[in-house]
Amino acid sequence: MVTRRDFLKTMSMASAGLALGTGDLLHAQTASPKTGRGDKVKIAYIGIGNRGEQIIEDFARTGMVEVVALCDVDMGAKHTQKIMAKYPKAKQFRDFRQMFDKAGNEFDAVAIATPDHSHFPISMLALASGKHVYVEKPLARTFYEAELLMQAARKRPNLVTQVGNQGHSEANYFQFKAWMDAGIIKDVTAITAHMNNPRRWHKWDTNIYKLPSGQQLPKDLDWDTWLGAAPYHEYNKDYHLGQWRCWYDFGMGALGDWGAHILDTAHEFLELGLPYEVTMQYANGHNDYFFPYSSTILFRFPQRKGMPPVDITWYDGLDNLPPIPAGYGVSGLDPNIPATNQGDTPKSKLNPGKIIYTKDLIFKGGSHGSTLSIIPEEKAKEMADKLPKVPKSPSNHFENFLLACNGIEKTRSPFEINGVLSQVFSLGVMAQRLNTQLFFDPRTKQITNNEFANAMLAGLPPRKGWDEFYKL
Protein backbone atom coordinates (compact mmCIF):
# COMPACT_ATOMS: atom_id res chain seq x y z
CA MET A 1 0.00 0.00 0.00
CA VAL A 2 1.46 3.39 -0.99
CA THR A 3 1.04 5.92 1.80
CA ARG A 4 0.07 9.51 1.14
CA ARG A 5 3.52 10.67 2.27
CA ASP A 6 5.36 8.18 0.01
CA PHE A 7 3.14 9.10 -2.93
CA LEU A 8 3.85 12.81 -2.54
CA LYS A 9 7.58 12.17 -2.19
CA THR A 10 7.93 9.87 -5.19
CA MET A 11 5.86 12.03 -7.52
CA SER A 12 7.26 15.47 -6.63
CA MET A 13 9.96 15.28 -9.30
CA ALA A 14 7.53 14.10 -11.97
CA SER A 15 5.09 16.89 -11.18
CA ALA A 16 7.89 19.43 -11.32
CA GLY A 17 8.88 18.16 -14.75
CA LEU A 18 5.27 18.39 -15.89
CA ALA A 19 5.03 22.01 -14.77
CA LEU A 20 8.23 22.97 -16.55
CA GLY A 21 7.50 21.00 -19.71
CA THR A 22 11.21 20.52 -20.33
CA GLY A 23 13.46 17.65 -21.25
CA ASP A 24 13.85 15.18 -24.08
CA LEU A 25 11.64 12.20 -24.72
CA LEU A 26 12.57 8.65 -25.51
CA HIS A 27 15.73 8.40 -27.56
CA ALA A 28 14.85 6.20 -30.53
CA GLN A 29 14.56 6.34 -34.29
CA THR A 30 12.21 9.03 -35.57
CA ALA A 31 12.46 8.51 -39.31
CA SER A 32 9.15 8.79 -41.13
CA PRO A 33 7.84 5.62 -42.77
CA LYS A 34 7.84 6.02 -46.52
CA THR A 35 4.39 5.71 -48.03
CA GLY A 36 3.18 7.09 -51.32
CA ARG A 37 -0.15 8.50 -52.42
CA GLY A 38 -2.64 5.66 -52.67
CA ASP A 39 -0.25 3.02 -51.33
CA LYS A 40 -1.64 0.48 -48.88
CA VAL A 41 -0.51 1.21 -45.34
CA LYS A 42 1.34 -1.67 -43.72
CA ILE A 43 -0.23 -1.92 -40.29
CA ALA A 44 0.16 -3.81 -37.01
CA TYR A 45 -2.81 -4.28 -34.69
CA ILE A 46 -2.34 -4.27 -30.91
CA GLY A 47 -5.42 -5.55 -29.11
CA ILE A 48 -7.41 -7.74 -31.53
CA GLY A 49 -10.44 -8.91 -29.54
CA ASN A 50 -13.74 -7.20 -28.70
CA ARG A 51 -13.34 -3.50 -29.58
CA GLY A 52 -10.07 -4.35 -31.32
CA GLU A 53 -11.91 -6.71 -33.64
CA GLN A 54 -14.39 -3.94 -34.48
CA ILE A 55 -11.77 -1.39 -35.50
CA ILE A 56 -9.80 -4.01 -37.44
CA GLU A 57 -12.96 -4.69 -39.45
CA ASP A 58 -13.41 -0.93 -39.95
CA PHE A 59 -9.87 -0.62 -41.29
CA ALA A 60 -10.41 -3.66 -43.53
CA ARG A 61 -13.47 -2.05 -45.12
CA THR A 62 -11.31 0.83 -46.38
CA GLY A 63 -9.33 -1.54 -48.60
CA MET A 64 -6.29 0.58 -47.74
CA VAL A 65 -4.32 -1.65 -45.33
CA GLU A 66 -1.91 -4.55 -45.50
CA VAL A 67 -1.94 -6.41 -42.18
CA VAL A 68 1.60 -7.30 -41.14
CA ALA A 69 1.36 -8.18 -37.45
CA LEU A 70 -1.17 -9.02 -34.74
CA CYS A 71 -0.51 -8.56 -31.05
CA ASP A 72 -2.64 -9.41 -28.03
CA VAL A 73 -1.79 -10.48 -24.48
CA ASP A 74 -4.57 -13.09 -24.80
CA MET A 75 -3.55 -14.41 -28.19
CA GLY A 76 -5.46 -17.60 -28.94
CA ALA A 77 -8.31 -16.97 -26.51
CA LYS A 78 -11.86 -17.23 -27.83
CA HIS A 79 -12.26 -13.47 -28.39
CA THR A 80 -9.04 -13.19 -30.44
CA GLN A 81 -9.41 -16.28 -32.63
CA LYS A 82 -11.58 -14.66 -35.32
CA ILE A 83 -8.98 -12.06 -36.26
CA MET A 84 -6.15 -14.59 -36.04
CA ALA A 85 -8.02 -16.80 -38.51
CA LYS A 86 -8.75 -13.89 -40.84
CA TYR A 87 -5.05 -12.93 -41.13
CA PRO A 88 -3.13 -16.24 -40.92
CA LYS A 89 -0.05 -14.79 -42.63
CA ALA A 90 0.35 -11.93 -40.14
CA LYS A 91 3.09 -12.38 -37.56
CA GLN A 92 1.75 -13.00 -34.05
CA PHE A 93 2.96 -11.59 -30.74
CA ARG A 94 1.73 -11.41 -27.16
CA ASP A 95 4.09 -8.61 -26.04
CA PHE A 96 4.03 -5.39 -28.07
CA ARG A 97 7.67 -4.69 -27.16
CA GLN A 98 8.73 -7.91 -28.88
CA MET A 99 6.63 -7.00 -31.88
CA PHE A 100 8.50 -3.73 -32.32
CA ASP A 101 11.85 -5.48 -31.76
CA LYS A 102 11.28 -8.35 -34.16
CA ALA A 103 8.97 -6.91 -36.84
CA GLY A 104 9.25 -3.15 -36.42
CA ASN A 105 10.86 -2.65 -39.83
CA GLU A 106 7.93 -4.36 -41.59
CA PHE A 107 5.03 -1.99 -40.80
CA ASP A 108 4.34 1.74 -41.08
CA ALA A 109 1.52 2.22 -38.59
CA VAL A 110 -0.13 0.71 -35.53
CA ALA A 111 -3.74 0.64 -34.36
CA ILE A 112 -4.16 0.26 -30.60
CA ALA A 113 -7.32 -1.07 -28.93
CA THR A 114 -6.15 -2.05 -25.46
CA PRO A 115 -7.29 -1.03 -21.94
CA ASP A 116 -6.92 2.67 -21.08
CA HIS A 117 -3.93 2.20 -18.78
CA SER A 118 -1.83 0.65 -21.57
CA HIS A 119 -2.45 3.30 -24.24
CA PHE A 120 0.51 5.39 -23.07
CA PRO A 121 3.46 2.95 -23.21
CA ILE A 122 2.36 1.44 -26.52
CA SER A 123 1.76 4.83 -28.17
CA MET A 124 5.02 6.23 -26.84
CA LEU A 125 7.05 3.29 -28.13
CA ALA A 126 5.29 3.50 -31.49
CA LEU A 127 6.15 7.19 -31.89
CA ALA A 128 9.71 6.62 -30.74
CA SER A 129 9.95 3.82 -33.33
CA GLY A 130 8.81 6.10 -36.15
CA LYS A 131 5.31 4.67 -36.59
CA HIS A 132 2.01 6.39 -37.31
CA VAL A 133 -0.42 5.79 -34.43
CA TYR A 134 -4.17 5.23 -34.23
CA VAL A 135 -5.29 4.70 -30.62
CA GLU A 136 -8.73 4.33 -29.08
CA LYS A 137 -9.90 7.06 -26.73
CA PRO A 138 -9.10 8.22 -24.14
CA LEU A 139 -5.57 9.01 -25.28
CA ALA A 140 -4.14 8.31 -21.83
CA ARG A 141 -5.29 7.62 -18.28
CA THR A 142 -3.34 10.32 -16.46
CA PHE A 143 -2.77 14.02 -17.09
CA TYR A 144 1.00 13.53 -17.26
CA GLU A 145 0.80 10.68 -19.78
CA ALA A 146 -1.33 12.80 -22.12
CA GLU A 147 1.16 15.65 -21.75
CA LEU A 148 4.09 13.41 -22.67
CA LEU A 149 2.29 11.97 -25.70
CA MET A 150 1.44 15.45 -26.98
CA GLN A 151 5.08 16.45 -26.57
CA ALA A 152 6.23 13.28 -28.34
CA ALA A 153 3.87 13.93 -31.27
CA ARG A 154 5.03 17.55 -31.60
CA LYS A 155 8.63 16.39 -31.74
CA ARG A 156 7.74 14.12 -34.66
CA PRO A 157 5.60 16.21 -37.03
CA ASN A 158 6.25 13.73 -39.84
CA LEU A 159 4.27 11.07 -37.97
CA VAL A 160 0.48 10.87 -38.12
CA THR A 161 -1.59 10.43 -34.96
CA GLN A 162 -5.31 9.84 -34.56
CA VAL A 163 -7.43 9.21 -31.46
CA GLY A 164 -10.52 7.06 -32.00
CA ASN A 165 -13.37 9.47 -31.34
CA GLN A 166 -15.20 8.97 -34.61
CA GLY A 167 -17.37 12.06 -34.16
CA HIS A 168 -14.46 14.07 -35.52
CA SER A 169 -15.06 12.51 -38.94
CA GLU A 170 -18.85 12.51 -38.95
CA ALA A 171 -21.62 15.03 -39.48
CA ASN A 172 -21.51 16.58 -36.01
CA TYR A 173 -17.95 17.80 -36.54
CA PHE A 174 -18.66 19.56 -39.83
CA GLN A 175 -22.01 20.92 -38.66
CA PHE A 176 -20.55 22.42 -35.48
CA LYS A 177 -17.80 24.17 -37.43
CA ALA A 178 -20.18 25.43 -40.14
CA TRP A 179 -22.67 26.74 -37.59
CA MET A 180 -19.93 28.47 -35.63
CA ASP A 181 -18.47 30.04 -38.77
CA ALA A 182 -21.96 31.31 -39.68
CA GLY A 183 -22.55 32.73 -36.20
CA ILE A 184 -25.38 30.30 -35.39
CA ILE A 185 -23.40 28.86 -32.47
CA LYS A 186 -21.94 31.77 -30.53
CA ASP A 187 -21.68 33.04 -26.96
CA VAL A 188 -21.92 29.56 -25.43
CA THR A 189 -22.17 29.85 -21.65
CA ALA A 190 -23.03 26.34 -20.45
CA ILE A 191 -23.12 22.73 -21.64
CA THR A 192 -24.87 19.80 -20.01
CA ALA A 193 -23.34 16.43 -20.92
CA HIS A 194 -25.13 13.25 -19.88
CA MET A 195 -24.59 9.50 -20.01
CA ASN A 196 -27.17 7.68 -17.88
CA ASN A 197 -27.02 4.12 -19.23
CA PRO A 198 -26.17 1.13 -17.00
CA ARG A 199 -22.48 0.55 -16.37
CA ARG A 200 -20.60 -2.64 -15.51
CA TRP A 201 -19.94 -1.63 -11.89
CA HIS A 202 -23.46 -0.54 -11.00
CA LYS A 203 -24.20 -3.84 -9.21
CA TRP A 204 -20.94 -4.00 -7.28
CA ASP A 205 -20.68 -3.52 -3.51
CA THR A 206 -19.45 -0.02 -2.67
CA ASN A 207 -18.46 -1.15 0.84
CA ILE A 208 -15.35 -2.59 -0.81
CA TYR A 209 -12.27 -2.32 1.45
CA LYS A 210 -9.61 -4.14 -0.60
CA LEU A 211 -8.87 -5.16 -4.17
CA PRO A 212 -10.24 -8.50 -5.45
CA SER A 213 -8.35 -11.65 -4.47
CA GLY A 214 -6.12 -13.35 -7.00
CA GLN A 215 -7.50 -16.08 -9.26
CA GLN A 216 -6.04 -18.71 -11.58
CA LEU A 217 -4.63 -17.13 -14.72
CA PRO A 218 -6.12 -18.20 -18.07
CA LYS A 219 -3.46 -20.30 -19.80
CA ASP A 220 -2.99 -17.97 -22.78
CA LEU A 221 -2.92 -14.65 -20.88
CA ASP A 222 0.33 -12.70 -20.49
CA TRP A 223 -0.72 -10.92 -17.30
CA ASP A 224 2.56 -9.07 -16.74
CA THR A 225 2.32 -7.37 -20.14
CA TRP A 226 -1.40 -6.71 -19.59
CA LEU A 227 -0.53 -4.79 -16.40
CA GLY A 228 2.12 -2.77 -18.20
CA ALA A 229 3.27 0.22 -16.16
CA ALA A 230 0.42 -0.10 -13.65
CA PRO A 231 1.18 -1.23 -10.09
CA TYR A 232 1.08 -4.99 -9.67
CA HIS A 233 -2.35 -6.54 -9.14
CA GLU A 234 -3.04 -10.25 -8.86
CA TYR A 235 -5.12 -11.47 -11.79
CA ASN A 236 -8.87 -11.42 -11.29
CA LYS A 237 -11.57 -11.82 -13.93
CA ASP A 238 -13.06 -8.49 -12.81
CA TYR A 239 -10.05 -6.69 -14.30
CA HIS A 240 -10.11 -8.42 -17.69
CA LEU A 241 -12.27 -8.31 -20.86
CA GLY A 242 -13.63 -4.82 -20.44
CA GLN A 243 -13.95 -4.98 -16.66
CA TRP A 244 -10.84 -2.79 -16.41
CA ARG A 245 -13.04 0.20 -17.25
CA CYS A 246 -14.58 0.02 -13.77
CA TRP A 247 -11.38 0.59 -11.78
CA TYR A 248 -9.50 3.83 -11.11
CA ASP A 249 -6.21 1.93 -11.51
CA PHE A 250 -6.97 0.88 -15.10
CA GLY A 251 -9.86 2.82 -16.62
CA MET A 252 -11.60 6.17 -16.89
CA GLY A 253 -15.18 5.24 -16.03
CA ALA A 254 -18.20 6.63 -17.85
CA LEU A 255 -16.54 10.03 -18.29
CA GLY A 256 -13.47 8.73 -20.11
CA ASP A 257 -15.51 6.22 -22.07
CA TRP A 258 -18.27 8.53 -23.36
CA GLY A 259 -17.02 12.06 -22.73
CA ALA A 260 -14.94 12.17 -25.91
CA HIS A 261 -17.98 11.14 -27.97
CA ILE A 262 -20.20 13.81 -26.42
CA LEU A 263 -17.95 16.82 -25.83
CA ASP A 264 -15.21 16.47 -28.48
CA THR A 265 -16.35 19.00 -31.07
CA ALA A 266 -17.59 21.55 -28.54
CA HIS A 267 -14.25 21.38 -26.75
CA GLU A 268 -12.26 21.86 -29.94
CA PHE A 269 -14.26 24.54 -31.72
CA LEU A 270 -15.01 26.57 -28.58
CA GLU A 271 -11.26 26.39 -27.83
CA LEU A 272 -11.99 25.51 -24.22
CA GLY A 273 -8.54 24.20 -23.35
CA LEU A 274 -8.11 23.30 -19.68
CA PRO A 275 -10.52 24.20 -16.85
CA TYR A 276 -9.68 26.36 -13.84
CA GLU A 277 -12.05 24.47 -11.55
CA VAL A 278 -13.33 20.88 -11.38
CA THR A 279 -15.87 20.05 -8.69
CA MET A 280 -17.53 16.78 -7.77
CA GLN A 281 -21.03 18.03 -7.00
CA TYR A 282 -22.80 14.72 -6.42
CA ALA A 283 -21.64 11.15 -5.80
CA ASN A 284 -23.68 8.03 -5.17
CA GLY A 285 -21.68 4.95 -4.25
CA HIS A 286 -18.31 6.66 -3.83
CA ASN A 287 -15.43 4.38 -2.81
CA ASP A 288 -11.66 4.25 -3.19
CA TYR A 289 -11.47 1.52 -5.82
CA PHE A 290 -14.09 1.72 -8.57
CA PHE A 291 -16.19 4.50 -10.05
CA PRO A 292 -19.34 5.80 -8.31
CA TYR A 293 -22.77 4.61 -9.35
CA SER A 294 -23.56 8.23 -10.20
CA SER A 295 -21.57 11.44 -10.59
CA THR A 296 -22.23 15.10 -11.25
CA ILE A 297 -19.03 16.95 -12.12
CA LEU A 298 -18.72 20.67 -12.87
CA PHE A 299 -15.91 21.87 -15.16
CA ARG A 300 -15.41 25.63 -15.35
CA PHE A 301 -13.53 27.16 -18.29
CA PRO A 302 -12.36 30.79 -18.48
CA GLN A 303 -13.07 33.44 -21.08
CA ARG A 304 -11.17 32.87 -24.33
CA LYS A 305 -10.57 35.12 -27.33
CA GLY A 306 -13.66 37.19 -26.64
CA MET A 307 -15.82 34.14 -25.95
CA PRO A 308 -17.58 34.04 -22.56
CA PRO A 309 -16.69 31.59 -19.76
CA VAL A 310 -18.27 28.15 -20.10
CA ASP A 311 -19.49 25.76 -17.42
CA ILE A 312 -19.76 22.10 -18.43
CA THR A 313 -21.74 19.86 -16.11
CA TRP A 314 -21.38 16.10 -16.52
CA TYR A 315 -24.11 13.71 -15.34
CA ASP A 316 -23.80 9.92 -15.21
CA GLY A 317 -25.75 7.24 -13.34
CA LEU A 318 -29.23 5.78 -13.53
CA ASP A 319 -30.60 8.07 -10.79
CA ASN A 320 -28.88 11.22 -11.97
CA LEU A 321 -30.65 12.66 -15.01
CA PRO A 322 -29.81 16.27 -15.86
CA PRO A 323 -32.38 19.07 -15.90
CA ILE A 324 -34.11 19.20 -19.29
CA PRO A 325 -35.15 22.55 -20.81
CA ALA A 326 -38.68 23.20 -21.98
CA GLY A 327 -39.28 22.08 -25.55
CA TYR A 328 -36.52 19.46 -25.45
CA GLY A 329 -38.59 16.89 -27.31
CA VAL A 330 -37.49 13.31 -27.98
CA SER A 331 -34.10 11.95 -26.90
CA GLY A 332 -32.64 10.50 -30.07
CA LEU A 333 -30.00 7.78 -30.31
CA ASP A 334 -27.37 8.01 -33.03
CA PRO A 335 -27.50 4.88 -35.25
CA ASN A 336 -23.75 5.21 -35.92
CA ILE A 337 -22.77 4.38 -32.33
CA PRO A 338 -20.65 1.19 -32.47
CA ALA A 339 -22.05 -1.90 -30.78
CA THR A 340 -20.34 -3.00 -27.57
CA ASN A 341 -19.36 -6.45 -26.36
CA GLN A 342 -21.72 -6.06 -23.39
CA GLY A 343 -24.77 -7.32 -25.28
CA ASP A 344 -27.86 -5.22 -25.79
CA THR A 345 -27.74 -2.12 -23.59
CA PRO A 346 -31.03 -1.44 -21.78
CA LYS A 347 -32.60 1.78 -22.98
CA SER A 348 -32.15 4.77 -20.71
CA LYS A 349 -34.76 7.40 -19.97
CA LEU A 350 -32.38 9.81 -21.67
CA ASN A 351 -29.91 8.71 -24.31
CA PRO A 352 -26.29 9.93 -24.07
CA GLY A 353 -25.82 13.45 -25.38
CA LYS A 354 -25.57 17.14 -24.62
CA ILE A 355 -27.50 20.37 -24.24
CA ILE A 356 -25.67 23.56 -25.28
CA TYR A 357 -26.85 26.88 -23.86
CA THR A 358 -25.94 30.19 -25.51
CA LYS A 359 -27.09 33.73 -24.79
CA ASP A 360 -29.74 33.44 -27.53
CA LEU A 361 -30.28 29.78 -28.45
CA ILE A 362 -30.38 26.28 -26.96
CA PHE A 363 -29.10 23.24 -28.88
CA LYS A 364 -29.48 19.55 -28.16
CA GLY A 365 -27.39 16.74 -29.54
CA GLY A 366 -26.48 13.10 -29.04
CA SER A 367 -23.08 11.42 -29.01
CA HIS A 368 -20.56 10.36 -31.65
CA GLY A 369 -21.62 11.80 -35.02
CA SER A 370 -25.06 13.01 -33.94
CA THR A 371 -25.92 16.45 -35.27
CA LEU A 372 -27.30 19.31 -33.22
CA SER A 373 -30.80 20.67 -33.42
CA ILE A 374 -32.20 23.95 -32.12
CA ILE A 375 -34.88 23.73 -29.42
CA PRO A 376 -37.73 24.34 -28.95
CA GLU A 377 -39.18 23.33 -32.34
CA GLU A 378 -40.73 26.75 -32.86
CA LYS A 379 -37.31 28.38 -32.64
CA ALA A 380 -35.85 25.79 -35.00
CA LYS A 381 -38.47 26.63 -37.63
CA GLU A 382 -37.74 30.34 -37.20
CA MET A 383 -34.01 29.73 -37.77
CA ALA A 384 -34.37 27.22 -40.62
CA ASP A 385 -33.65 29.62 -43.49
CA LYS A 386 -30.60 31.05 -41.68
CA LEU A 387 -28.75 27.75 -41.32
CA PRO A 388 -25.72 27.30 -43.60
CA LYS A 389 -25.11 24.28 -45.80
CA VAL A 390 -22.97 21.73 -43.98
CA PRO A 391 -20.24 20.04 -46.05
CA LYS A 392 -20.11 16.24 -46.10
CA SER A 393 -17.19 14.42 -44.56
CA PRO A 394 -14.63 13.48 -47.22
CA SER A 395 -13.60 10.35 -45.28
CA ASN A 396 -14.54 8.32 -42.25
CA HIS A 397 -12.25 8.26 -39.22
CA PHE A 398 -10.26 5.22 -40.36
CA GLU A 399 -9.90 6.42 -43.96
CA ASN A 400 -8.84 9.83 -42.62
CA PHE A 401 -5.99 8.22 -40.67
CA LEU A 402 -4.81 6.09 -43.59
CA LEU A 403 -5.05 8.96 -46.08
CA ALA A 404 -3.01 11.07 -43.67
CA CYS A 405 -0.38 8.31 -43.49
CA ASN A 406 -0.10 8.70 -47.28
CA GLY A 407 0.09 12.49 -47.09
CA ILE A 408 -3.34 13.10 -48.66
CA GLU A 409 -5.33 14.40 -45.66
CA LYS A 410 -4.61 15.59 -42.14
CA THR A 411 -6.06 13.72 -39.21
CA ARG A 412 -8.93 15.48 -37.47
CA SER A 413 -8.24 14.13 -33.98
CA PRO A 414 -4.44 14.14 -33.59
CA PHE A 415 -2.78 13.84 -30.19
CA GLU A 416 -2.23 17.60 -30.02
CA ILE A 417 -6.00 18.19 -30.16
CA ASN A 418 -7.41 15.19 -28.36
CA GLY A 419 -4.71 15.15 -25.69
CA VAL A 420 -6.06 18.29 -24.03
CA LEU A 421 -9.56 16.79 -23.89
CA SER A 422 -8.04 13.65 -22.38
CA GLN A 423 -6.45 15.85 -19.72
CA VAL A 424 -9.82 17.45 -18.96
CA PHE A 425 -11.24 13.99 -18.30
CA SER A 426 -8.28 12.97 -16.15
CA LEU A 427 -8.95 16.01 -13.95
CA GLY A 428 -12.60 14.97 -13.76
CA VAL A 429 -11.64 11.44 -12.71
CA MET A 430 -9.35 12.85 -10.01
CA ALA A 431 -12.23 14.92 -8.64
CA GLN A 432 -14.39 11.77 -8.72
CA ARG A 433 -11.77 9.68 -6.95
CA LEU A 434 -11.17 12.24 -4.19
CA ASN A 435 -14.83 13.37 -4.13
CA THR A 436 -13.73 16.97 -3.89
CA GLN A 437 -13.24 20.36 -5.55
CA LEU A 438 -10.00 21.08 -7.41
CA PHE A 439 -8.62 24.45 -8.46
CA PHE A 440 -6.33 24.16 -11.46
CA ASP A 441 -3.94 26.67 -13.02
CA PRO A 442 -3.99 26.05 -16.80
CA ARG A 443 -0.78 28.09 -17.26
CA THR A 444 1.42 26.12 -14.87
CA LYS A 445 -0.64 22.93 -15.19
CA GLN A 446 -0.75 22.51 -11.44
CA ILE A 447 -3.53 21.97 -8.91
CA THR A 448 -3.27 24.82 -6.44
CA ASN A 449 -5.54 23.81 -3.55
CA ASN A 450 -4.68 20.14 -2.97
CA GLU A 451 -1.11 18.86 -2.73
CA PHE A 452 -2.13 15.22 -2.92
CA ALA A 453 -4.25 15.80 -6.02
CA ASN A 454 -1.39 17.76 -7.61
CA ALA A 455 0.86 14.71 -7.23
CA MET A 456 -1.87 12.58 -8.81
CA LEU A 457 -1.41 14.48 -12.08
CA ALA A 458 1.55 12.20 -12.72
CA GLY A 459 -0.05 9.05 -11.30
CA LEU A 460 1.74 6.32 -9.36
CA PRO A 461 5.34 5.51 -10.33
CA PRO A 462 5.56 2.94 -13.13
CA ARG A 463 6.59 -0.60 -12.30
CA LYS A 464 10.24 -1.52 -12.61
CA GLY A 465 11.14 -2.02 -16.26
CA TRP A 466 8.37 0.28 -17.48
CA ASP A 467 9.88 3.59 -16.35
CA GLU A 468 11.76 3.97 -19.65
CA PHE A 469 8.53 5.09 -21.32
CA TYR A 470 8.27 8.06 -18.96
CA LYS A 471 11.87 9.28 -18.94
CA LEU A 472 12.36 12.90 -19.97
Examine the domain organization and report whether 144 and 8 are in the same domain: yes
Examine the domain organization and report whether 385 and 405 are in the same domain: no
Q: Cβ(459)–Cβ(145) under 8 Å? A: yes
Range of the domain at 350: 169-203+249-392
Per the domain annotation, does 77 fall within a domain? yes
Examine the domain organization and report whether 149 and 256 are in the same domain: no
Per the domain annotation, does 434 fall within a domain? no
Model pLDDT, residue 338: 55
Per the domain annotation, does 370 fall within a domain? yes
Residues 6+ apart with CB under 8 A from 381: none
Model pLDDT, residue 23: 43
**70 secondary structure, DSSP code:** E
Taking the CA atoms of 347, 248, 16 and 123 in sequence, report the sign of the dihedral they define: negative
**How many other β-carbons are positioned within 10 Å of the β-carbon of residue 150?**
23
Model pLDDT, residue 177: 97
Examine the domain organization and report whether 308 and 375 are in the same domain: yes
Examine the domain organization and report whether 272 and 358 are in the same domain: yes
Model pLDDT, residue 382: 96
Examine the domain organization and report whether 193 and 274 are in the same domain: yes
Which three-class secondary structure state does DSSP give residue 310? strand
Name the residue type at position 216: Q
Last residue of a domain, one of 349, 377, 392: 392
Examine the domain organization and report whether 50 and 162 are in the same domain: yes
Examine the domain organization and report whether 128 and 147 are in the same domain: yes
Distance of CA 221 to the CA centre of its chain: 25
Model pLDDT, residue 342: 40
Name the residue type at position 399: E
Examine the domain organization and report whether 144 and 259 are in the same domain: no
Model pLDDT, residue 53: 97
**Number of structural domains in the chain:** 2
Examine the domain organization and report whether 192 and 318 are in the same domain: yes
pLDDT tens for the chain, 472 residues long, are: 444 455 445 444 454 455 444 444 444 444 445 455 568 999 999 999 999 999 999 999 999 999 999 999 999 999 999 999 999 999 999 999 999 999 999 999 999 999 999 999 999 999 999 999 999 999 999 999 999 999 999 999 999 999 999 999 999 999 999 999 999 999 999 999 999 999 999 999 999 999 999 999 998 899 999 999 999 999 999 999 999 999 999 999 999 999 999 999 999 999 999 999 999 999 999 999 999 999 999 999 999 999 999 999 999 999 999 999 999 987 655 555 555 444 344 455 789 999 999 999 999 999 999 999 999 999 999 999 999 999 999 999 999 999 999 999 999 999 999 999 999 999 999 999 999 999 999 999 999 999 999 999 999 999 999 999 987 4
Tell me the CATH number at 343.
Answer: 3.30.360
Per the domain annotation, does 44 fall within a domain? yes
Examine the domain organization and report whether 148 and 33 are in the same domain: yes
Per the domain annotation, does 154 fall within a domain? yes
* Cut 0.85: pTM above it: yes
Q: Cβ(116)–Cβ(291) under 8 Å? A: no
Per the domain annotation, does 235 fall within a domain? no
Model pLDDT, residue 396: 97
DSSP 119-145: HHHHHHHHHHTT-EEEEPSSS-SSHHH
Tell me the CATH number at 29.
Answer: 3.40.50.720
Per the domain annotation, does 240 fall within a domain? no
Examine the domain organization and report whether 189 and 335 are in the same domain: yes
Per the domain annotation, does 226 fall within a domain? no
